[in-house]
Structure 1
Amino acid sequence: MSDRFTAQRRALINRMQERGIRDLNVLRAFDLVPRHLFVPQAVGHRAYEDSPLPIGFGQTASQPSLQALYMQLLQIGRNDRVLEIGTGSGFQTAVLAQLADRVYSVERIRELSTRAREVLDGMRISNVAILVGDGTIGWSRYAPYDAILVAAGGPEVPQPLLDQLADGGRMLVPVGTRESQRLVLVHRRGDSFHYDDVAECTFVPLLGRFGWADERVGG
């Protein structure tokens, strides 16, 4: 891909390598997806900073190197079925589409879902399905999933997501308070789950039945 952002995108990939991203498939996938198409025009000039960016509705597009760490840890393969909780801007969704066979993404904010779908369609990405709904209950219709990525922080790992993880599957989910979390890597072996702490992180709250309550709802 060649455009006016090519040099900035390559510089971002170099920074990601400096921060420990070594998986060539992940780096190649990030090189194929133009992040500037997925963020609001007001912050388009910052699209290739290695930092989170506001995308409206109180949400952010996550830091690219953190997204890349997710994918490196999950070791996503070409035949994998992936569930993403939190479509957001759709950028991570598009990168996942370069790595996996099918990507199923759940977004609770309809406007973000619509915007992401438009950009994905414009890029002719055809192996992604998006659902507007409560991400904490997952998307059981297409389960089980080889990998699950949760892009918001909850008080615990939602049980429905554990149930929808395939035998041998991997999940990354931020767990903690609304203000700060630990990134947890979950491996499933039969009916057993193994949990590993990866790193400290800060995500927007995971709202829903098996997450935090939306404080704007109710009186």
Structure 2
Amino acid sequence: MDFEALRRTMIDTQIRTWDVLDPRVLATVAQVKREFFVPTPYRHLAFADFTLPLGHSEIMWTPKMEARVLQELDLHEQDRVLEIGTGSGYLTALMAQLAGMVHSVEDRAELSRTAEGRLRVQGVHNAHLHVGDGSTGWADNAPYDAICITGSLPVLPEVFKEQLSVGGRLIAILGTGPAMRVRRIFHSQPGIFEYSELFETEVPPLRHKPLPARFVF
């Protein structure tokens, strides 16, 4: 298969049409080999416009969603990033191209080991993978300049905002199926956060997700 031709088509027909026009993001998507992070049985579908199974009820986002979220994170070379849910490692690799350091937390050791192997083979050395429960953040390396939570949450725990540095950006997928909202949170000033709703989607929930508080009468 001509992966380079398929990659160019993906960028032109899927990613650009989703208002992803940042040249740094487009160059990163063109450089990082998505097909290498896709499970072998689905490699021929690496550039298709739908999610792909990773096993363990996990999925790989669509290419346009990966690129759009990457653009919304607005990463820079000195940024320290937290990713909750390593998955295939592809989004980790994209973020590592633009940021200084990515800390990625995955609670399934098998997925983390596979992703780490792919990242090392691809020459990504500024991503540290951790095995553990990141549903309430990852305090060890906080604060972070950007946080990306790849599984959906019914509500966003406040601790994630507490671990976001001033000027930091956070992407979270909130709600329950079938319509979930992708929200961007910008920590504009100490204690002040700005919110914007980006688009709707549906992805599997984050394991160990916090539950909404029950009303007590």
Same fold flag (TM > 0.5) = yes
Tell me whether 1:109 sits opposite 2:97 in the alignment: no
Letter in 1 for 2:130: L
Tell me, in whole angstroms, the C-alpha distance in 2 between the residues paired with 1:62 and 1:209. Answer: 19
Residue equivalent to 2:16:
17
Letter in 2 for 1:192: I
Residue equivalent to 1:198:
198
* Stretch of structure 1 that moved more, 20-29 or 195-204: 195-204
Task: Kindly provide the CA deviation profile for residues 157-212 of structure 1, in whole angstroms up to 9, marking residues without a partner as x.
Answer: 12221111001111010111154311111111201222222211111101225369
Task: Kindly provide the CA deviation profile for residues 58-115 of structure 1, in whole angstroms up to 9, marking residues without a partner as x.
Answer: 1100011111111111211111111111110001101111111111111111111110
Q: Are the equivalent residues in 1 in contact too, given 2:153–2:173 (CA < 8 A)?
A: yes
CA positional deviation for 1:120: 0.4
Q: Aligned Cα RMSD in Å?
A: 1.5
Tell me, in whole angstroms, the C-alpha distance in 2 between the residues paired with 1:178 and 1:201. Answer: 9
Tell me whether 1:94 sits opposite 2:106 in the alignment: no
Residue equivalent to 1:217:
none
CA positional deviation for 1:50: 2.5
CA positional deviation for 1:19: 2.1
Q: Are the equivalent residues in 2 in contact too, given 1:153–1:178 (CA < 8 A)?
A: no
Q: Are the equivalent residues in 2 in contact too, given 1:153–1:174 (CA < 8 A)?
A: yes
Match of 2:5 among 4, 7, 20: 7
Q: Aligned runs of 1:1-219 on 2, under 5 Å?
A: 4-15=2-13, 16-188=15-187, 189-208=189-208, 210=210
* Stretch of structure 1 that moved more, 185-194 or 141-150: 185-194
Letter in 2 for 1:140: A
Tell me, in whole angstroms, the C-alpha distance in 2 between the residues paired with 1:39 and 1:99. Answer: 21
Query: Could you list the runs of 5+ residues in structure 1 that have no partner in the other structure?
Result: 213-219
Tell me, in whole angstroms, the C-alpha distance in 2 between the residues paired with 1:211 and 1:85. Answer: 17
Change in 2 beyond 3 A, CA 1:209/1:58: closer
Letter in 2 for 1:200: E
Q: Are the equivalent residues in 1 in contact too, given 2:54–2:88 (CA < 8 A)?
A: yes
Query: Could you list the runs of 5+ residues in structure 2 that have no partner in the other structure?
Result: 213-217
Q: TM-score, normalised by structure 1?
A: 0.91
Letter in 2 for 1:201: T
Tell me, in whole angstroms, the C-alpha distance in 2 between the residues paired with 1:199 and 1:57. Answer: 26
CA positional deviation for 1:18: 2.1
Letter in 2 for 1:126: H
Change in 2 beyond 3 A, CA 1:54/1:209: closer
Tell me, in whole angstroms, the C-alpha distance in 2 between the residues paired with 1:201 and 1:9. Answer: 23
Letter in 1 for 2:55: G
Identity of aligned residues (%): 37
